[in-house]
Structure 1
């Protein structure tokens, strides 16, 4: 099982990587960010929208956030304006980090029951497994965003976790 410290680490990493990805994406013209590039969610903008939508969906289940409207197919058009999307992403990341700071081992060991729109049935799973999924999902699609950014001639900042986070400040050393 994962630990509360791992959750804090991944929440901090998620926030920092989103700052880096959005900084790089901001160097790309809006038209290019929104152009269908053949990625799983079409465009860079669509991929970034899906990531925010998915985090909001999981946090509605795990932490009582408002549930985002629509399903996975509509997740790519959550927010049309890039600056608004970036502000919403950063606000969500702050909330995720604050929430992760309060996670306990007992909470992680518990289960969550929810209706999955993706599988169209009720699901039940250990919370710790779901948190691994949430952070892995971010990493997976952020990798796609990274590829789309580099295809536009922009090089995002370093992505290596042990070199970009202040582990001492996170009380993880």
Structure 2
């Protein structure tokens, strides 16, 4: 599997897994979603919010890549979250709708990328203003890995709330070559 195929697989998995987490989280009472459970961002809802914040920050950085300017134009119109825990939407329902929209943007954007685009060296500044230059394909790996990291936290928080998310493995999104 090529690196680009892997990126597209991760975009698909990201959309699928976020959808699952939001669906099961939506069944919980607001107090349970917002209960501080001692996680880095406190609650289930705040952790899901952080993922939207981080994704927005990274996608805005990615939007300066010459191959991404058109694909990520809708992202550049979003306000830049001032902190990693800034609330991006007022209600859980709005957060969910924003997640659905953003994940479709990610899938479409990854579908527009070409193999050569991954070798581009992207210059950007992190949230503290520190300048960096890194290979774009490696940054995409970080982007998707960061989401997986925090979704793992959410599945643990959901488990603590008595919710079984079910299978979360990337494997279920990989085509079985025997079929």
Same fold (TM over 0.5): yes
| TM-score, normalising length: structure 1 | 0.88
Is residue 70 from structure 1 mapped to residue 82 from structure 2 by the alignment?
A: yes
Task: Look up the SS of the partner of 1:78 in the other structure.
Answer: coil
User: Quick one: higher RCO (CA 8 Å, sep 6+), 1 or 2?
Assistant: 1
Are the equivalent residues in 1 in contact too, given 2:37–2:43 (CA < 8 A)? yes
The alignment's C-alpha RMSD in Å is 1.7
Are the equivalent residues in 1 in contact too, given 2:9–2:174 (CA < 8 A)? no
Which moved further from structure 2: 82-91 or 54-63?
Answer: 54-63
Q: Equivalences for 1:1-173 in 2 at 5 Å? A: 3-63=3-63, 64=72, 65-66=75-76, 68-72=80-84, 74-75=85-86, 77-118=87-128, 120-163=129-172, 165=173, 167=175
Please give the per-residue CA displacement for 1:144-167, whole angstroms capped at 9, x wherever unaligned: 00111111111113112222x273
Instruction: Provide the rounded CA distance (Å) in 1 between the counterparts of 2:55 and 2:150.
Output: 12
Are the equivalent residues in 2 in contact too, given 1:27–1:154 (CA < 8 A)? no
Task: Look up the SS of the partner of 1:94 in the other structure.
Answer: helix
Report how far residue 130 of structure 1 moved.
Answer: 0.5
Matched pairs, number: 164
Instruction: Provide the rounded CA distance (Å) in 1 between the counterparts of 2:53 and 2:156.
Output: 20
Report how far residue 78 of structure 1 moved.
Answer: 2.0
Instruction: Provide the rounded CA distance (Å) in 2 between the counterparts of 1:144 and 1:50.
Output: 12
Are the equivalent residues in 2 in contact too, given 1:34–1:43 (CA < 8 A)? yes
Are the equivalent residues in 2 in contact too, given 1:20–1:157 (CA < 8 A)? no
Instruction: Provide the rounded CA distance (Å) in 1 between the counterparts of 2:53 and 2:30.
Output: 20
Report how far residue 129 of structure 1 moved.
Answer: 1.0
| TM-score, normalising length: structure 2 | 0.85
